[in-house]
Structure 1
Amino acid sequence: MFSTRLDRERLADLGAAAAERLLRAGVDLVALSFVDNSGISRVKAVPAGKLASVAAWGVGASNSFDFFLATDSIASGAHSLGPVGDLRLHPDLDALTVLAAQPGWAWAPAWRYDQDGRAHPQDSRALTAAAVGQLAERGLSVRAAFELEWVVTDPDEVPVPGPAYGYARLSRHHDYLRKLVSALDSQRAEVEQIHPEYAAGQFELSVAAADPVRAADLAVLTKETVRRVSEACGLRASFTPKFQPGGVGNGGHVHLSLWHGDQPLCSAGNGPFQLTPAGEAFGAGILRRLPALLAVGAPSVISYLRLTPHHWAGVFTAWGCENRETQLRLIRGAAGQRSTAANWEVKCFDLTANPYLVLAGLIFAGLAGIDAEERLPPPIDVDPGSLSPDEAAAAGVVRLPTSLPDSIAAFEADDVLPKAFGEELGTTLLDVRRAEAAELGALPDAELCRVMRWLH
C-alpha cells in the first residue's frame, strides 16, 4: 500500500520474507517498473536476494524520466531539473508477481519517493491511490478494467492472416493464445475473454475488474506478458493506436463500475437505464470532461489517427446504452446479472496512455460530477456521426478534439483536472505533450506509424 511516510524497518522485514519466497521459487531477478508521462514502462532490475534492502531504501532513478517522450527524447519544462537530482523506486510487495513468461524473474510496480522519503508529486501510481482515497472518503469505490488490443505480425512485420473476428485466425494461433492465457492465469491476471478483432492480425483481451491501482497494474503486466509470449512464439506484438494509415486502430477501452459498499450504483436505480443518481452523476462528470481527458487517455500524436468517425472509437460528445459509436457507453449486461455487471465504458482512449493517469483522471472527473449532482443529456441511440448538423446541435453532439494540441487546450481549460493532478504533474504532463506534438506532429501518417509502431 502507498504511504506518505516510509517505515523502513517494516519494509526491510517484508522484503526479506519476499526474497526468501522468490529464491525458493527459483527467481533470481526482480523488475521494478513505473509508467512515465508518455505511457512507457521504465524499469530497474535488482537481484532477488537484495529485496530487503531495496524495499526499505529503494533503487535510484532519475527524475528526468518525467520528461521522457516515447521516442526517448527528453523534453524541457517548468519543473525539469535536467540531469540534477534522484528519486528512489520502492517495490509494492503486495503486487509482487513471479513472471511465467520470463523464467527466473519476478515483477513489482514501484512507488516513487525522493531521497528524503517523501512521495514524489509526479508518481502516477500514487495519484491513482489518492483518487481511490477520495472515493473512500465518500463511502464509494470503483472497480475498473482495461481492454487491450494489439496487432500480431510475423518477424517481417506482416500482420498474421485471418478474417475479422474469424475462427480461422484463432485456430491458426491457438497455441499462442493458450500460452498467453496460461501465463496470465499463473500471474493472477484473470482473463475474461480473448478473441480475434477487426483489423488484420488484431486480437483483444479483457481481464477481470479490480480496484483501480490493481487494474492499472494489470494493464502494465498484461502488456508485457503479451509482448514476451509473442516473441517466444516467433511473433511481434504492436499496441500502437494505428499500425498503418487507413487501418483500424488499437484501442485501450476502460470499464468502470461505481459502488457504495456492496451496493452497485450503475444499476438498480430509477434513472435512465436504471442508473442510480450517483451512477448517473459519475458518468455525467466523465462525459463532460472527456475532451480534456483525451490529453491523458489519447496522449500521443498518433492517437488522433485512430479517432475517426464510424470506427467504434467514440469520437463525438455523446453517450448511449450499448452504442459502440458513443465515447461513453453504458453496458448493462445480461438480464439477471445487471446488478453486478452494469458499468461505464470509455472508448476513446488507447494504449499509449499511462493507465494510472487514465484511471485517476476518470475518477476525478466522475467525482466532480457527483459533487455537482450533474445529470446526463438524453442518450444517443444511433451512430452520432450520422446525425445532421441540426440534429447534432440539438443533441449537443460535437466532435472531440481532433489533434493533440486541441486536447492540451481542453485540459488546460478544465475546471477540475489540472488541480486534481497537482501543479507539478499537470504542468509537466502538458510540457511533454507539447514536446511530442513539436517532434512528431508534422510527420506524414505513414512515417508516424513507422516511428510509433513498436514503442508502446
Structure 2
Amino acid sequence: MDKQQEYVLRSVEERDIRFIRLWFTDVLGILKSVAIAPAELENAFSEGIGFDGSAIEGLTRVSESDMLAKPDPSSFQILPWRGSSHGVARMFCDIATPDDEPALSDPRQVLKRNLDRASELGFTFYTHPEIEFYLFEKPEPGMLPKPVDQAGYFDNVPRGTAHNFRREAITMLESMGISVEFSHHEAGPGQNEIDLRYADALTMADNIMTFRAVIKEVALEQGVFASFMPKPLVNGPGSGMHTHMSLFEGDRNAFYEAGADHQLSPVARQFIAGLLKYAPEISAITNQYVNSYKRLWGGAEAPSYVAWGSNNRSALVRVPVHKPGKGQSTRIEYRALDSAANPYLAFSVLLSAGLKGIEEELELPEGAEDDVWELSPAERKAMGYQALPASLSQAIDLMEGSELVAEALGERVFDFVLRNKRAEWEAYRAQVTPYELEQYLPVL
C-alpha cells in the first residue's frame, strides 16, 4: 500500500468518515457515484469495486458488463456540505476491466492517454477555465425559468442572492482544495462566473466535475436552482467555459518567447493553428448538445467563426495580454467550449488538435483585428474565416469524418458519441416547438 492510500485510510479514521463516495463520469460527462463504507476501502484500493458497466452511458456492452471502479487516492477530499460529524468523503476513480486493464471507454482514461502523448513530446498541459452558469428561482412545472435577479456584468448587488451564493460556493470549493481566482456577476440576469486557478488538465477536469456538484448543492441549500445549460434564456447570453491553455516543458512555459509577436513562441503559434484547423470537427465534443449551438450562434461574444486575435473577444482563440516580465503567464484562450461539456473529452480533443498543429508545423494565419460578428459574409469569406457548425447535426457530420477525433477519443468513445448525438438530433428534429405553434398555428 502506498503513502497516499495510507493517508486516506488514516484520514477516514481520524475524521470520523462514515461513507466514501467513489466518483466517475459517463461519456456525456454526467457524474456517477457509489458509496462504500470505510471497511471496504482497502479492498477498493487493491481490487476495485465491481459494478455493471453496461448500465452506464457509453461505458461498455452488455456482453462485457463487469467493470471495476478503482479510486485515485490523490483525489481524496471531504465533502463539506455533508457536515462535520459522521462525514462523507469522495475520490475520483479510474475504470478498469476485470483483468485490470484500463477501460477504453472511461473518459478519465481517455484524457490520461492524451496527456501521456503530450508527455512523450516533453509537454505538460495546463488549463484554467472561466465557468459561467445561471441561477434561477425554483422552477415550477410548465413555467419558464425565472432568474434570481436582473443584474448585469460585474454588478454589485447588496445582499443579492448571487453575491451570497458565490461566497458560499467559493468557501466550499476552497475547503476541498480547489483554488478560485475570480468570481463575479455575468452579463445575463442571474448569470454568474467563477474562474478556477490554473492546474494540470487531469486535476482540472476532476475540479470541474466537483465544481458542478458544489454549485448544485449550494443552490439546493439556498432554495434556488443552478443550471449549466449552454443557452437557457432566449434573450440572454449563453454560458461558456472559456478555457485558458498552455504547454510547459518542465518549469518553462513553451508558449513564451521574449520579443516575438505577442510573445508567442513557434510552439504556441502552431498549437493555435491546430486549434483553428480542427475546431469545426471537434465541435461535437466541445459543444455536445442541441442547445450548445443556440449559444454559439446567439451573439453576445460567443464565437461563431474560426479566427484568432490578440485581446479580441469575438475570435474563437484569444491571446490575452499579460504584464511585461510575466512570460510564464503566456497562454491562449479557447472561447467555444461551453459549461456543459465533458471536461475529460473536451480537454482531450483540444490538446490533440493543438499537438497536431505542432507535429504538422502548421502556419498561423493573420490575426483578426475587427469584430468578426460585424463583418459582412463577403468580408469574412475574403479573410478566410470559416464558420463553426451551426447545429449539432452539422457538428456530427464533421466529427464522423475526423481522424483526429477518432484517434483522440478511441474507437469505443468515438462510436458511442456519434450514435448518442445522432439520436439526440433525431429526437430534437421531431419536436414541434412553442415558436412554431406561435408563428404558424394562428395563420396557417
Q: Give the TM-score, by structure 2 length.
A: 0.90
Structure-2 change in CA distance of 1:398 and 1:260 (3 Å): same
Matched with 1:429 is: 417
Counterpart pick for 2:233 among 233, 241, 244 = 244
Matched with 2:78 is: 98
Counterpart pick for 1:60 among 17, 28, 50 = 50
The Cα shift of 1:440 comes to: 2.8
The Cα shift of 1:65 comes to: 4.8
In 1, Cα distance between the equivalents of 2:103 and 2:269?
34
What is the RMSD of the two structures over their aligned residues, measured on CA atoms? 2.1
In 1, Cα distance between the equivalents of 2:170 and 2:79?
13
In 1, Cα distance between the equivalents of 2:317 and 2:345?
18
What code does the residue aligned with 1:152 have? L
In 2, Cα distance between the equivalents of 1:170 and 1:184?
23
In 2, Cα distance between the equivalents of 1:445 and 1:375?
44
What code does the residue aligned with 1:352 have? A
Residues 250-265 of structure 1: pairs in structure 2 closer than 5 A:
250-265=239-254
The Cα shift of 1:360 comes to: 1.0
8 Å contact 1:142–1:212 — kept in the other structure? yes
Q: Which runs of 5+ in 1 are unaligned?
A: 1-9, 69-78, 448-456
What code does the residue aligned with 2:353 have? A
8 Å contact 1:257–1:342 — kept in the other structure? yes
In 1, Cα distance between the equivalents of 2:257 and 2:382?
30
Residues 37-56 of structure 1: pairs in structure 2 closer than 5 A:
37-56=27-46
Query: Identity rate of aligned residues, in percent?
Result: 27
Counterpart pick for 1:267 among 240, 256, 261 = 256
CA deviations over 1:318-372 (Å, ceiling 9, x no partner)? 11111111111111323343x1222111111112211000111111111111001
Matched with 2:104 is: 121
- Larger relative contact order (C-alpha < 8 A, sep ≥ 6)? 1
In 2, Cα distance between the equivalents of 1:183 and 1:446?
39
Matched with 2:377 is: 389
CA deviations over 1:250-299 (Å, ceiling 9, x no partner)? 11222111222222132225553121001111111111111111111100
Structure-2 change in CA distance of 1:374 and 1:435 (3 Å): same
8 Å contact 2:110–2:410 — kept in the other structure? no
8 Å contact 2:27–2:106 — kept in the other structure? no
In 2, Cα distance between the equivalents of 1:408 and 1:276?
33
Return 373-382 or 53-62, whichever deviates more: 53-62
SS of residue in 2 equivalent to 1:110: strand
Q: Which runs of 5+ in 2 are unaligned?
A: 140-144, 436-444
8 Å contact 1:321–1:331 — kept in the other structure? yes
Structure-2 change in CA distance of 1:265 and 1:44 (3 Å): same
Structure-2 change in CA distance of 1:420 and 1:176 (3 Å): closer
SS of residue in 1 equivalent to 2:248: strand
8 Å contact 1:40–1:352 — kept in the other structure? no
Structure-2 change in CA distance of 1:126 and 1:57 (3 Å): same
Structure-2 change in CA distance of 1:23 and 1:154 (3 Å): farther
In 2, Cα distance between the equivalents of 1:170 and 1:180?
17
Instruction: Verify: 1:363 aligned to 2:346, yes or no.
Output: no
What code does the residue aligned with 1:102 have? R
Matched with 2:401 is: 413
8 Å contact 1:256–1:345 — kept in the other structure? yes
In 1, Cα distance between the equivalents of 2:51 and 2:120?
33
In 1, Cα distance between the equivalents of 2:131 and 2:71?
25
Matched with 1:89 is: 69
8 Å contact 2:137–2:225 — kept in the other structure? yes
8 Å contact 1:87–1:115 — kept in the other structure? yes
Matched with 1:34 is: 24
SS of residue in 2 equivalent to 1:34: strand
Q: Give the TM-score, by structure 1 length.
A: 0.88
The Cα shift of 1:429 comes to: 1.7
In 1, Cα distance between the equivalents of 2:232 and 2:408?
33
Structure-2 change in CA distance of 1:325 and 1:214 (3 Å): same
Structure-2 change in CA distance of 1:322 and 1:121 (3 Å): same
8 Å contact 1:332–1:341 — kept in the other structure? no
What is the count of residue pairs matched by the alignment?
A: 426
In 1, Cα distance between the equivalents of 2:205 and 2:432?
32
Matched with 1:144 is: 127
